Structure 1
Amino acid sequence: MSVVLADGNNGTNGTKRHLSSCPNYSHFGNRDVGQMILESSITGNMGSRSIKYDSGVHRKNMAMIVIMHELPFTFVDYEYVKYSYTSLVPEIKCVSRNTSQADILKIYKREKRKLFNLLQSLPGRVCLTSDMWTSIISDGYIILTAHYIDEDWVLQKKNLNFCFMPPPHSSVAIAEKISALLGSWNLDKKLFSNTLDNASANDTFVGIFKNTLRIKDALLVGGDFFHMRCCAHILNLMVQNGLKEIEKIIDKVRDSIKFVKRSQSRKKKFLDCATQLAIDYKKGLVQDVVTRWNSTYLMIESTLYYRNVFAHLALSDTNYVFCPELEEWNQVEYVFKFLKIFYDLTNIFYGAKYPTINLFFHGMWKIQALLKDELKNLNHFIRSMASKMQLKLDKY
């Protein structure tokens, strides 16, 4: 820090020369606070950077806030959102939700046009992934995702469409919908493969879709490698088939977590039990999504951590009747260890930033070797689980 003398022998000329040569460190906006004070002492006015209001920049920023944080259009109409901006810039023109919606639609069209041009310029082909599901209010949705290698040999993933899919969800309707969506991207002749889950309707859909592309002479190798089955979904079906063997025990684990989470008083009682047993309760309880086996695996992991707490809770709360018996806990623990390889492989197959097709064979070979060993296991229920999983693997 420089020191400027200001006694009787040093007037304002020295101060002015110092201000013109001293580096301007940014401690207050773009100005150094010390320099601003010095400038004020000379001119009588505290120097500050004026804020220039640009309505176009403001509208763009508001649209990006809604997009990036997945907020409703009404966000821009919130009273204190408006107040926070007008308190900073009184002359600001607050954006309405209709204006915000229009701005977001403009951004979407602009980004779609950029992606369209990029896909057309690709020297290689595009691998397509499509999926469908039904919301909690029974509305159907479909999503198309494109995977491709860019000019720098980096794997890229872009969501092309996410849209409403009205019934019927038949193979013919799916084929028509996807053909129409791809037509808007002009990708008919740039497709290499289409990865789908293993729903029966998808097999028929692929046949119809391939015939459409065959007419346009758009298939490589006659379409032999066009239909790719989702490896993660195959693993999910395999494990779900095996978990049926201990379905009643898994239900007890699931009901135990629901019991604790159902009211605040039960949560407190559960935490009190953990405290008495000197068990750290910060880990938390995971409730699974029934259709996602890997979430069931995480649920089992969290429950095993608190198995002694659940046992203690069963003694202190007569309403808790879901606690597994000692032998059932042992079975859950054995299953948890048995499924570790499936969980790790599922996480690998879920990867979106790297190719996974080259990892498939080695991963499934490990699964096959494990099942072969477990078919000889002396534990009856593990042997039965492995048998059911092997049947599902053989199917694919």
Structure 2
Amino acid sequence: MEGGESSAQIIKNAPSVLKADIWTHYGFYQLKGKNELDKSHAVCKVCHTKIKYLGGNTTNLRNHLSRFHCEKLTSATKKTADPAQRRIDEVLSTFPPNSEKAKAITQSVAAFIAKDLRPYSVVENAGFRHLLKTLEPRYKLPSRSHFTENVIPALYNGTKAQVMASMIQAKRVAITCDAWTSVATESYLTVTAHYISEDWQFLSHVLQTRAVYESHTGAHVVELLSCVVEEWQLSDKDVMLVTDNASNMIVAAELGKFTHVKCFAHTLNLASQRALKVATLSRLLGRVRRIATFFHRSTTANHYLKEKQKCLGLKNHKLITDVATRWNSAYDMVERFLEQQPAICATLLSPEVRKGQSDLCTLNETDVSNAEDAVSALKPMKDATTLMSEESNPTVSLIAPINAQLLQNMTGTIGDSPMIHAIKNAITTDLLKRYNGEAEKKILHTASALDPRFKGLPFLTVEERLEIYRGVTEEAASLENERTLRRTEVIDGLLVSLLGQSFTDTEGTSVSAERVFSTAGDVVTAKRSTLKPEHVDQLVFLQKNLHIPKC
């Protein structure tokens, strides 16, 4: 800003092309000796002050008028924001939606929804929005519909392409399927795939989840599985199907001409559930369950139980109540009862606890003896179930040797009590019904022969053993590029407990078999009971397959 010029010098009006209202109060001097305006400086018509004019920018002019002649600054001369032009503070306060930072945060929110099984509505929750605002005030969270219709589907498509690119390299693929029902009583079938990569890594993917509106007949199941094989380009992968023991799954495998193996974990559960129905054991479980439930519901009894545990030097463990769908929870319930039995009996006999509980039951010595027999008889089944559940890569090579060992463990002996005899007989009867097909037995025995831990096949007769070796030798000769087997770690304690020391001298390969799909039901919750089937498919797929960096 420069001082005023002589009042004799005439201030020419601004050219008509300068249409801003501010030019009502400003003009230009004429260049000396020329018929041109000096547009390097605008001149205030009130005080004749020259103000540097940068061509098109009237900020300095408005500032001068505001500071020295505010009475001239009418509403007409105040700058009105162009609706299409954002203010500088707005530009600096938010990220453009297409900026790399904004897109990265949006992708992370989508990953959060998918990996943690959160409802889409989480982006509308006040607490979540406040968290993002605190972490990054410049980020504007997109709408729920934007995630539903754009972000999650795009993330799904990208992840699906990665899974297909990885799986196309596999030579053989095992698929498993699991039917489940949502809280909205809608039926779904989820299909998973398992294979060994070229660098000998065990990989597992959820492929798809489909709503099933028809009855779950074998024909409908095989139709869905055939679509899976076609969509995921598995027709040349020598697909093996692993399912539970349901008759419709067996029919589907036959109709689709799939190589079929029944899930061993499901087999163990069926045999054990049959044992739990033995009359004497069922009555015992009912009484133990009633006592455990009483301690869960009574704060007084639970308080006195803790005091008795402390006095008797027992661990402060809570009693366990069994769950109908998991047979091993019944085993855990009885085992915990036996562990805490002295404290339980002492507590139940306390007048303070029995007050008002006339129908409170206690267990006598016979009940305690039966509980000990039940735990002893079911211990091999418990070990096998735990092994198949906790093994990071459960393998088909485990099925035949463990099944054979369980049948041996369930052979009756002279010293068995009536309860032990009944439990063993129930389990043996059920196990003998499984894995009787010649094709299935050949698969199981061949897998065991290829695993150095079980290659001796001691559970087979000499003739059966030689037949399996002959088949393995012939197939190995035809596979030019598969000449070596991977090494694995020494068998863990549970495997030793089940199979004995004769299986602990070697190490070997580990090829994956079926792992029961268990988290699909968590997708459709009370807050997400109206999810469309395609959204359920996308969320289940991403929850299992999307890889995010560990923090």
TM range (shorter): 0.7 to 0.9
CA deviations on 1:138-182 (whole Å, 9 max, x unpaired) are 432222111101011122111112333234122222222222233
Task: Give the equivalent residue in structure 2 for 1:194.
Answer: 241
Query: What SS class does the counterpart of residue 142 from structure 2 fall into?
Result: coil
Task: Give the equivalent residue in structure 2 for 1:238.
Answer: 271
Superposed counterparts of 1:112-127, under 5 Å: 112-122=160-170, 124-127=171-174
Instruction: Give yes or no for the alignment of 1:335 onto 2:378.
Output: no
Instruction: Give yes or no for the alignment of 1:254 onto 2:292.
Output: no
Task: Give the equivalent residue in structure 2 for 1:96.
Answer: 143
> For the Cα contact (< 8 Å) 1:128–1:191, is it kept in 2?
no
Query: What SS class does the counterpart of residue 240 from structure 2 fall into?
Result: strand
Q: Taking structure 1 as reference, are residues 79 and 200 closer, same or farther at Cα in structure 2, changes over 3 Å only?
A: same
> For the Cα contact (< 8 Å) 1:156–1:353, is it kept in 2?
no
Query: Partners of 1:137 and 1:377 in 2: how far apart?
Result: 52
Query: Partners of 2:119 and 2:184 in 1: how far apart?
Result: 19
Query: Partners of 2:333 and 2:248 in 1: how far apart?
Result: 31
**Which letter does structure 2 place at the counterpart of 1:337?**
S
Instruction: Give yes or no for the alignment of 1:128 onto 2:163.
Output: no
Superposed counterparts of 1:215-364, under 5 Å: 226-245=259-278, 246-262=281-297, 264-281=299-316, 283-316=317-350, 317-318=353-354, 319=357, 321-350=360-389, 353-364=392-403
Superposed counterparts of 1:369-380, under 5 Å: 369-372=408-411, 374-380=412-418
Query: Partners of 2:424 and 2:433 in 1: how far apart?
Result: 14
Query: Partners of 2:368 and 2:275 in 1: how far apart?
Result: 17
Query: What SS class does the counterpart of residue 198 from structure 1 fall into?
Result: coil
| Cα displacement (A) at 1:256 | 2.2
| Cα displacement (A) at 1:127 | 0.9
Query: Partners of 1:93 and 1:76 in 2: how far apart?
Result: 11
Q: Flag the structure with higher helix content.
A: 1
The partner residue of 1:108 within 152, 156, 173 is 156
> For the Cα contact (< 8 Å) 2:175–2:242, is it kept in 1?
yes
| Cα displacement (A) at 1:51 | 12
> For the Cα contact (< 8 Å) 1:157–1:353, is it kept in 2?
no
| Cα displacement (A) at 1:126 | 0.3
CA deviations on 1:182-214 (whole Å, 9 max, x unpaired) are 32212233243111111122222222221xxxx
Q: How many matched pairs?
A: 330
**Which letter does structure 1 place at the counterpart of 2:273?**
Q
Query: Partners of 1:267 and 1:100 in 2: how far apart?
Result: 48
Query: Partners of 1:363 and 1:333 in 2: how far apart?
Result: 24
Query: What SS class does the counterpart of residue 163 from structure 1 fall into?
Result: strand
| Cα displacement (A) at 1:363 | 1.3
Query: Partners of 1:143 and 1:299 in 2: how far apart?
Result: 31
Query: Partners of 1:78 and 1:314 in 2: how far apart?
Result: 48
Task: Give the equivalent residue in structure 1 for 2:252.
Answer: 205
Query: What SS class does the counterpart of residue 59 from structure 1 fall into?
Result: helix
Query: What SS class does the counterpart of residue 66 from structure 1 fall into?
Result: helix
Query: What SS class does the counterpart of residue 371 from structure 2 fall into?
Result: helix
> For the Cα contact (< 8 Å) 1:335–1:382, is it kept in 2?
yes
Query: Partners of 2:293 and 2:130 in 1: how far apart?
Result: 42
**Which letter does structure 2 place at the counterpart of 1:63?**
A
Task: Give the equivalent residue in structure 1 for 2:480.
Answer: none
> For the Cα contact (< 8 Å) 1:195–1:228, is it kept in 2?
yes
Query: Partners of 1:389 and 1:76 in 2: how far apart?
Result: 51
CA deviations on 1:120-151 (whole Å, 9 max, x unpaired) are 232x1101111223456543222211110101
Query: What SS class does the counterpart of residue 349 from structure 2 fall into?
Result: helix
| Cα displacement (A) at 1:83 | 2.1
Query: Partners of 1:369 and 1:392 in 2: how far apart?
Result: 14
Instruction: Give yes or no for the alignment of 1:365 onto 2:398.
Output: no
| Cα displacement (A) at 1:288 | 2.5
Q: Taking structure 1 as reference, are residues 181 and 267 closer, same or farther at Cα in structure 2, changes over 3 Å only?
A: farther
Task: Give the equivalent residue in structure 2 for 1:18.
Answer: none
Query: What SS class does the counterpart of residue 239 from structure 2 fall into?
Result: strand
| Cα displacement (A) at 1:61 | 1.4
Q: Which deviates more from structure 2 when the two are superposed, residues 76-85 or residues 261-270?
A: 261-270
Q: Which deviates more from structure 2 when the two are superposed, residues 57-66 or residues 72-81?
A: 72-81
Query: What SS class does the counterpart of residue 319 from structure 2 fall into?
Result: coil
> For the Cα contact (< 8 Å) 1:155–1:353, is it kept in 2?
no
Query: Partners of 1:51 and 1:154 in 2: how far apart?
Result: 47
| Cα displacement (A) at 1:248 | 0.9
| Cα displacement (A) at 1:315 | 1.9
Task: Give the equivalent residue in structure 2 for 1:145.
Answer: 192
Q: Taking structure 1 as reference, are residues 339 and 381 closer, same or farther at Cα in structure 2, changes over 3 Å only?
A: same
Q: Taking structure 1 as reference, are residues 189 and 323 closer, same or farther at Cα in structure 2, changes over 3 Å only?
A: farther
- Pair member with larger Rg: 2
Query: Partners of 1:331 and 1:139 in 2: how far apart?
Result: 42
**Which letter does structure 2 place at the counterpart of 1:359?**
L
Q: Taking structure 1 as reference, are residues 138 and 289 closer, same or farther at Cα in structure 2, changes over 3 Å only?
A: farther
CA deviations on 1:218-240 (whole Å, 9 max, x unpaired) are xxxxx6xx110111221211122
> For the Cα contact (< 8 Å) 2:195–2:203, is it kept in 1?
yes
Query: Partners of 1:335 and 1:78 in 2: how far apart?
Result: 50
**Which letter does structure 2 place at the counterpart of 1:360?**
I
Query: Partners of 1:130 and 1:137 in 2: how far apart?
Result: 21
Instruction: Give yes or no for the alignment of 1:393 onto 2:428.
Output: no
Q: Taking structure 1 as reference, are residues 66 and 238 closer, same or farther at Cα in structure 2, changes over 3 Å only?
A: same
> For the Cα contact (< 8 Å) 2:268–2:381, is it kept in 1?
yes
Q: Taking structure 1 as reference, are residues 86 and 132 closer, same or farther at Cα in structure 2, changes over 3 Å only?
A: closer
Query: What SS class does the counterpart of residue 277 from structure 2 fall into?
Result: helix
Identity across matched positions, percent? 24
Task: Give the equivalent residue in structure 2 for 1:162.
Answer: 209
Query: What SS class does the counterpart of residue 194 from structure 2 fall into?
Result: strand
Shift >6 Å, 4+ stretches: none
| Cα displacement (A) at 1:379 | 0.9
**Which letter does structure 2 place at the counterpart of 1:190?**
K
TM-score, structure 1 as length reference: 0.75
Gaps of 5+ in 2: 1-91, 96-100, 435-551
